[in-house]
Chains A and B, each alone.
Chain A
Amino acid sequence: EPEVTQTPSHQVTQMGQEVILRCVPISNHLYFYWYRQILGQKVEFLVSFYNNEISEKSEIFDDQFSVERPDGSNFTLKIRSTKLEDSAMYFCATGQTNTGELFFGEGSRLTVL
């Protein structure tokens, strides 16, 4: 069964460092998303990406965040200067359509010290 693959599974970083989280979407999916889940809290939307551009972003997705799909396969989330409150599980999700029927990757746990 096709799946969304995320790397790394866990990253520990110092506050102020840059972090890049990577996702390989399911091959025929056109819509890509990043969500995050702080421990014990709800899953929160960060950004949606379609046709090589951001289609929607949340208030969380400020200037410290960026996304790109540089090589047509990997979909990346970059956090330029991490803060303690960025510690969370980051989920990549993809869909064939933008209806909300999403396939989630296993997540990348980010710990900022």
Chain B
Amino acid sequence: QKEVEQNSGPLSVPEGAIASLNCTYSDRVSQSFFWYRQYSGKSPELIMSIYSNGDKEDGRFTAQLNKASQYVSLLIRDSQPSDSATYLCAVNIEREKLTFGTGTRLTIIP
């Protein structure tokens, strides 16, 4: 079965520090990778997409992709209390279908 794996957490990080979230996926042919943020009781919101190996930066967020290791990560610099949420890794494993991980719950401690 094609899967996306994440550590469910909770992950606690002090305000101002770097939060590091990790995700592995099982299908080598996957081409598209995403990080969605989901606040409690709310819908997922796209924060980063990455399609090629290496780093992609957008403001305080950096996505990192290593296709050889089947690994994608998200770094959040200068963490803020508003970053407290569940972060969902999603992979486009099959043509029109996003497969989500279970999510990592992140808490930023003021």
Contacts and interface: CB of A to CB of B under 8 A. Distances in A.
A48 B102 contact: no
Interface in A60-81: none
A98 B43 contact: no
Contact of A100 (B42, B43, B45, B90): B90
Report whether over half of chain A's contact residues are helix, strand or loop; otherwise say mixed.
strand
Given A100-B32, A100-B49, A103-B46, A43 B96 contact: no
Interface string B30-52: 00101000000011111001010
Contact of B100 (A43, A99, A101, A105): A43
Given A45-B99, A99-B92, A104 B45 contact: yes
Interface in B3-32: 32
Most chain A CB neighbours (cut-off 10 Å) among B51, B94, B96: B96
Contacts of A33: 96
A104 B44 contact: yes
A98 B96 contact: yes
B60 interface: no
B45 A42 contact: no
B43 A107 contact: yes
A107 B38 CA distance: 12
Interface in B57-110: 88, 90, 92, 94-103
Given A42-B103, A103-B46, A56 B96 contact: yes
Contacts of B44: 43, 91, 102, 104
Interface of B: 32, 34, 42-46, 49, 51, 88, 90, 92, 94-103
Interface of A: 31, 33, 35, 41-45, 48, 50, 55-56, 58, 91, 98-107
Q: Considering the complex of A and B, which 4 residue pairs feature the smallest CB-CB distances, nearest first?
A: A48-B96, A104-B43, A56-B96, A100-B92
